[in-house]
Chains A and B, each alone.
Chain A
C-alpha cells in the first residue's frame, strides 16, 4: 500500500475537501513541488534575490531544506541556522508532521522571513510566530498560528482543529475548510488585531471564548454553515459569516446583526486580500462582494462575570 516515495512523484493535490465544488478542490496539476533545477540553483545563505510581490504564491529563489526524515527539532535547527546566516527566504520540501515550524525564528526588529512549505507540516505551525510569512502548498494540521503575534500564514488547502488559538496579531488565510475550535480565545489589544479568513466553512465551536480580532468565513462551496456552538463564551471581536446561520447554531453569548457600513469596507478589504492570495478564486470576486453577510458579536464583555464571583 506504500505509495510513490520519490519526491518528484509527489504532487500536492488540494485539500480534497469533499465538500467544496470541483473548481475549488481539483487543483492538482502544476501545484507540485517545483522541479529540482529551479530550486537547487539558490544556495543556502544566499539572500533572497527576487523581490516579487509579497502576495504572489510562486516559488522564487531561497534556501531549500529537504525535511525528509528530519525530526521537529532538527528542522527547527536548520531553519534557525539559515536565519542566523542571513537567509531571507526558505523553502521547506517534504515536510511531514514536523511541529512548530516558524516558532524558533523570533527576531524582533529585523526583516521578516518568507517560508514556503511543501508537504504536510505538523501541529502548531507558526506557533508564537513573530512577523514572518509562511506559505503552505498543501494542508495543515492542528494548532496553526497558536498564540501567533505578528506575520501571516497562507494555507493552500485545509486546516485541522484549533486554528488561530490564542492568536493575538497577524493574519491567517485558509483556502478551504477548517476543523473544530477555530480562533479559540483569540484576542486583541490596541492596534494588535488578529485576522482569520477561511475560504470554506468551519466546524463546531468557531470563536469559542473569543476575546478579540476578526474571523471571516466565506463558504465558497455554498454548503451553508453547518457548525454548532459558534461563539460560545465569546466576549470580544467579531465573526462574519457569508450567507446566514440559524440562531440555534450560536452560543448564547453572541448576538447576530447585519454588518454596518464600516464592516462592509472591512469585508471588502479582507475579500480582496484573500483573493490575491488565491488567484484561482478571482472569478468569485463579484459574487463575494454582492453576498449577504451576518455579523456575530458578544452580548457582554464578561459573560461569566456572575458565574464564579458575587
Chain B
C-alpha cells in the first residue's frame, strides 16, 4: 500500500447563492421534504447566512384569509413580546383576526437568534380614507407601514393560502426548523440558500421576499438598486429589508399585479434586449422593445441575476439578459423544476422528460392548469 501523501487543503468558499423551484402543474400538493433535499444538495453555494422557502396552497382551511407571517426580532424575549403587543394593537384596528398562533418550529434544530415568528389569518377592515383603496393596495399599504413604523416587527409574508419561511442558517436548517417537510403541502415551492455579498445577514434579509402572494428568490446582485429603489418609492414602496432583492419583488408587484403586464413584457423591462439586438428586430417588435426601455428604463435590473418569481398558479424563472448567473429548467410529467444546477433536480427526480438551459432574459413560465 502506498503511503498516503496528502497536502492540507484550504477550505474553499464557493461564493454564490442557490435557488430552486418545484411546481406540480396539475395543482397537486406535495410536502417540502424533496425541496429541502434539493436545496441542501447545493449546500456549498451558500454560507449559512440565509435560507428560506415559499410555499403555495399550504393553508386550505384559511384560504380566503390573508396569512400574515410576522417576525419580532430583538435581543430579549421581552423586546420581542413588546413589539408583538404593539403590532397586535395596530392589527386589531384595521383587520379582523380570524386566527393567530406561533408558527410551529422544531426547537431541537439549532438556529442563530431566532425571532418570535407568528402568523395571523386576517380579513381587511379598512376605515375612513383607507376604504377607498383596493383590498390589495390596502394590504400593501399596511405591510409597508408596519415594516417601517413598528420597531422590530416585520411582515415577511402577506398572501392568501401561501407562506414564506426564512431565516439565518443553511436552507435545510431553516426548512427543518419550520418543519416544512412535516407540516405543509403545497403545489409550488421555491427555495433559496444565501451567500450575502453586500449586506449583513439577518432574518428579514433572507429570501424569499414576499408581498401579497408574490415571492422572489434571487441569485446575483442588482447594481441598479439605487435607481430602481428611487423609482419604486414614487409608487409608495419602501425598501426596509437592507437587500437588493427587495426591489425585484416590488417591481414585480408594480408591473404584474398593479399594471397587469404579462410576464413576456415584464421580462423585457427587467432584463431588456440590448440596443443592437433591438435594431435587428422587425418593426413592430422593435417599437415595443424601444418603448419599454424608454418608459421603464429605471426598472432595468442591471447586474448579474437569476430569479424565480412565484404567485398562485405560476412559477417563472428569469436571468439577466446575458445570463451571468445559472439557471437550469426541467420537466417530468406534471412536475416542473427550476434550479441553479441540474444535480439537485436529478436527486429528487432521477428521470426527466426534458432539461434545458434557458436563454438569457427569456422567461421560463410554468402554470398550473385550471
Contacts and interface: CB of A to CB of B under 8 A. Distances in A.
A180 interface: yes
Given A1-B335, A122-B341, A141-B343, A81 B4 contact: yes
A310 to B, nearest CB: 26
Nearest to B14: A99
A179 B9 CA distance: 31
B346 interface: yes
Contacts of B354: 16-18
A15 interface: yes
A97 B335 CA distance: 21
Interface stretch (A2-10, A144-152, A210-218, A259-267): A2-10
Contacts of A204: 322-323, 359-360
Interface in B340-356: 341-344, 346-356
B343 A84 contact: no
14 contacts: A1-B349, A2-B34, A3-B350, A11-B351, A15-B355, A18-B356, A77-B6, A81-B4, A84-B2, A95-B343, A97-B341, A97-B344, A141-B328, A204-B359
Nearest to B330: A16
A184 to B, nearest CB: 12
Interface of B: 1-2, 4-6, 9, 14, 22, 24, 30, 33-34, 37, 41-42, 44, 277, 280, 322-323, 326, 328, 330, 332, 335, 341-344, 346-357, 359-360
A142 B339 CA distance: 13
Contacts of B22: 1
B350 A123 contact: no
A248 interface: yes
A160 B6 contact: no
Contacts of A73: 9
Contact of A96 (B34, B343, B351): B343
B6 A80 contact: yes
B351 A160 contact: no
A86 interface: yes
Contacts of B37: 2
A27 to B, nearest CB: 13
Interface in A127-179: 139, 141-142, 158, 160-161, 177, 179
A285 B299 CA distance: 50
B356 A17 contact: yes
A142 B346 contact: no
Interface of A: 1-4, 9-11, 13, 15-19, 71-73, 77, 80-81, 84-86, 95-97, 99, 119-123, 139, 141-142, 158, 160-161, 177, 179-180, 203-205, 228, 248
A203 B326 CA distance: 13
B328 A160 contact: yes
Nearest to B346: A120
A3 B353 CA distance: 13
Given A18-B356, A142-B326, 6 more contacts: A1-B30, A13-B351, A96-B41, A121-B343, A203-B359, A248-B280
Contact of B342 (A3, A17, A71, A141): A141
A298 B199 CA distance: 42
A2 B353 contact: no
A9 B350 contact: yes
B17 to A, nearest CB: 14
Contacts of B2: 84-86
Contacts of B44: 71-72, 99
A1, A71, A99, A123 interface centre (most CB from chain B within 10 Å): A1
B322, B344, B348, B351 interface centre (most CB from chain A within 10 Å): B351
B342 A228 contact: no
Nearest to A4: B350
B280 A203 contact: no
B277 A228 contact: yes
B9 A160 contact: no
Contacts of B348: 1-3
Contacts of B344: 96-97
B355 A17 contact: yes
Contacts of B42: 97
Contacts of B9: 73
A-B complex: 6 closest residue pairs judged by Cβ atoms: A97-B343, A179-B357, A10-B350, A120-B343, A1-B30, A16-B354
Contacts of A19: 356
A245 B356 CA distance: 22
A82 to B, nearest CB: 11
A96 B355 contact: no
Contacts of B1: 85
A16 B355 contact: yes
Contacts of A16: 330, 352-355
A253 B348 CA distance: 44
Contacts of B352: 13, 16
Contact of A180 (B41, B323, B346): B323
A209 to B, nearest CB: 14
Contacts of A97: 41-42, 341, 343-344, 347
